Chains A and B, each alone.
Chain A
Amino acid sequence: MDNVFGLYNYWVVIFLMMTGFYIVISQRNLIKKVIGLNIFQTSVFLLYITIGKVEGGTAPIVSEGFNVYTNPLPSVLILTAIVVGVATTSVALALIVRIREAYETIEEDEILAQEKLT
C-alpha cells in the first residue's frame, strides 16, 4: 500500500508526464501540441516540488518550536523553470500566429501538404 499512497505524488507526475508527451507526439494541431508541451513541463514542476518536501517539516520560515523545515530550494528552482515555461509558450504561440498568416492553417498535415505542392 505504501507504494500506492506513499508515492502518490510520483504516480501523478508520471501520469501527467506521459499524458503531455503523448499529446505532443500524437496531435497534429499546433495549439494542441503546445498544450501537451505545457502539461509535460508542469509535471516536472510537480516532481521538483515533491522532491523538496520533508516529512513533518513546516514552511521554511525560522520560528520557535520548529526544528524541521521543508527544503525551499526546489521550489525556488521551479520558479525559474515556470518562467522558462511561460517564455517557451509565448514564443511558440507567436510562431503559430505567423504560421497561420503564412499558411492560413495550423494543422501540421495541411502545412506539409502545401509544402509538397510549392
Chain B
Amino acid sequence: MIKQNLLALQIVIPLIAAPLCILLRRRALVWGFAVLVCWLTFGISVVLLRQVLETGLVSYEMGGWAAPWGIEYRADPLSAFVLLFVSGIGAIVLSSAGLKDTALDEIPVSRQYLFFTLYLLCLTGLLGITITGDLFNVFVFLEISALSSYGLIGLGGRRQALPAAFQYLVMGTIGATFILIGIGLMYMMTGTLNMADMAERLVMADGGRTALVAFGFLTVGIGIKMALFPLHIWLPNAYAYAPSLVTAFLAATATKVSVYILLRFVFSVFGVTFAFETLGLGGVLMFLSLLGIFVASTVAIFQTNIKRMLAYSSVAQIGYMVLGISFASTTGLVAGIVHLFNHALIKGGLFMAMGCVMLRLKSVDIEDMAGIGRKMPFTMAAWAVGGLGLIGIPATAGFISKWYLIRAALEQNWWIVAVMVLISSLLAVIYVWRVIETAFFKEPSARAREAREAPLSMLLPTWVLVGATLFFGVMTSTSAGVAGRAAEVLLRVIP
C-alpha cells in the first residue's frame, strides 16, 4: 500500500509536518522531528528513483481522478533525479542545525521553530514542482516554495536581509505571474492542464501567435525564477544576507528546480522542434548564458563579502547549465542535467562551509577571513575542495560537467564556445584562489585569532556534501548515467 502511494507521500509528509513544527516549539524536539521528516522524504525519493530506473515512469492519480481531468503526479528519470538531490541536500543541511552552537544561532531563539516550519514548506514546494504532471499545480507549488523562501530570507540577522527579501518577493511574484499568464494562454489553446496531454494537443493545435506569446511569458518568468542573466538581480543580496543554513539550502536547490521547470516546459510540453527550430531558443539561451558566465564571474572577483561572491558565482554556474541545454543535443542535455546535480552539491558544501565561518567569525568579509585556514583547517579545507570543484579540476564533480559541456560544443563544431568555457573557468580560478590565499597564507585578522574550529555537527554535513563532489567526480557512471537516461527521455518525448 505504501509502495503505491509513494508519489503522494513524497509531498504529503513534509507538507503535514510543517505546521506540526509550530506545535512542538522546543528547539531540540522540533529539530529532531524536522530532520526525521527530511530523511524520510529522502528515503522515499531513493525508492522512487530505483522504481523509475526499472520501469521508466511512475504515475499517480491524485484522489483517484484519471489523468487528463484529475491532477497527475508522475516521475520520470529527470524528475526522480531532481527529487533525489533536492530532498537529500534538504536533509543534510537541516541535520547540521543540531542542538547547540550551530549556524541556527544566527536566527533569534524566539523565531527558530518558524525556521523549521518554513524550511519544510519550502522543501514541499520544491519537491511538488518536480513531481507534478499538472501545469497549474506547478504554479501553486512554485508559490508555496517562493513564499516560504521570502520568509526564510527575512529571518536573516542583519537588517539588509529585509530589503533583499522584499526585492526577491517583487521579482519572484512578477516571474510567477508571468508563468501563470503563460499557463493560462496554453490552457486557452488546448483546453487541458495535464502536461503529457497538452504536449499531444499542442502538436495538433498549431497555436500560432498564442503559442508564441505563451512561450515568451513562460521563458521570461522561468528566467527570473532561475536567475538567468540579466534577470538575476534579486539573487546576490538574497543569498548574501539570508541565514547561512537558508543560503546553503536555497542555493543548492531553488534555482535548480527552476531549471528543471524550463527543461520540462521546453522539452516535454512544447517540444524541441517548436522551441529550437521554429523559435531559435537555442541561440538566445546560448548568448545569454555565455554573457552571464563572463559578467557574473568577473563581478564575483571584486566582491568582499564571500557569500555574495559565491552568489554571483551561482549566477555564472546557472549559465553553464543553460548553455548545456541550449545545444538541444543529448550530450548538451547531459551536461546541463549533470551540472544541476554537481553544482547543487558543490554550492551546498561551499555555503555550509561559509556557515561554519559565519558561526565562528560573525562575519564573512574577506578581510576578516585572513588566516582563518590555520584556526579552522577542516572548514577551509572543505571550502578549498568545493572551490576546486567550482573551477572544474579533474577528479571533482565540476570537471564532469565541463567535460560534457565541451564535448557537446565540439560535437556541433562550436569550438569558440568550448574555448570560452575554458577561459571562463580561469575567472573561477581567480575568485576561488583569492579566498584560499587569504585564508591560508595571510596573517590572521583580529577576529580570526579568536576563532576555533567549527563543531562536528556542522563539519560532518559540510564534509558529506564536499565528499560527495569528490565521489561523483570519480564514480561518474552513477550521476552521468542517470542524467543520460533523463536526457534521452526528454529528447524522445516528441521526436
Chain A residues within CB distance 8 Å of chain B:
21, 24, 30, 33, 37, 40-41, 44, 47-48, 51, 74, 77, 80-81, 84, 87-88, 91-92, 95-96, 98-99, 102-103, 108, 111, 115
Contacts and interface: CB of A to CB of B under 8 A. Distances in A.
B237 to A, nearest CB: 10
Given A84-B143, A91-B147, A37 B170 contact: yes
A41 B188 CA distance: 18
Contacts of A91: 147, 150-151, 169
B122 to A, nearest CB: 13
B140 interface: yes
B187 A74 contact: yes
A103 B159 contact: yes
Nearest to B180: A44
The B interface, classified by DSSP as helix, strand, loop or mixed, is helix
29 contacts: A21-B174, A24-B170, A24-B174, A30-B166, A40-B177, A41-B177, A44-B180, A44-B181, A44-B184, A48-B184, A51-B187, A80-B140, A84-B143, A84-B147, A88-B169, A88-B173, A91-B147, A91-B169, A92-B166, A92-B170, A95-B154, A95-B162, A96-B166, A98-B162, A99-B166, A102-B162, A103-B159, A108-B163, A111-B163
Contact of A77 (B136, B165, B174): B136
Interface string B318-359: 000000000000000000000000000000000000000000
Given A91-B169, A95-B150, 9 more contacts: A37-B170, A44-B180, A44-B181, A84-B140, A84-B147, A88-B143, A96-B166, A99-B162, A99-B166
B184 A40 contact: no
Contacts of B166: 30, 92, 95-96, 99
A29 B35 CA distance: 40
Contact of A115 (B136, B143, B160): B160
A98 B180 contact: no
A39 to B, nearest CB: 11
A44 B169 contact: no
Contact of A47 (B147, B174, B181): B181
Contacts of B151: 91
Given A40-B177, A99-B162, A47 B184 contact: yes
Interface in B116-145: 136, 139-140, 143
A87 B160 contact: no
Contacts of A24: 170, 174
A41 B139 CA distance: 13
B162 A37 contact: no
Contacts of A96: 166
B365 to A, nearest CB: 14
Nearest to B181: A44
Nearest to B160: A115
Contact of A95 (B140, B143, B169, B174): B169
A11 B396 CA distance: 54
A89 B490 CA distance: 37
A24 to B, nearest CB: 6
Contact of A81 (B160, B163, B180): B180
Contacts of A92: 166, 169-170
Contacts of B147: 84, 87-88, 91
A71 B461 CA distance: 51
B179 to A, nearest CB: 10
Nearest to A21: B174
B143 A87 contact: yes
A90 to B, nearest CB: 9
B174 A40 contact: yes
A88 B169 CA distance: 8
A66 to B, nearest CB: 20
A98 B154 contact: yes
A92 to B, nearest CB: 5
A60 B140 CA distance: 25
> 5 nearest interchain CB pairs?
A102-B159, A84-B143, A99-B162, A95-B166, A51-B188
Contacts of B143: 84, 87-88
Contacts of B173: 37, 41, 88
Contacts of B170: 24, 33, 37, 92
A115 B169 CA distance: 20
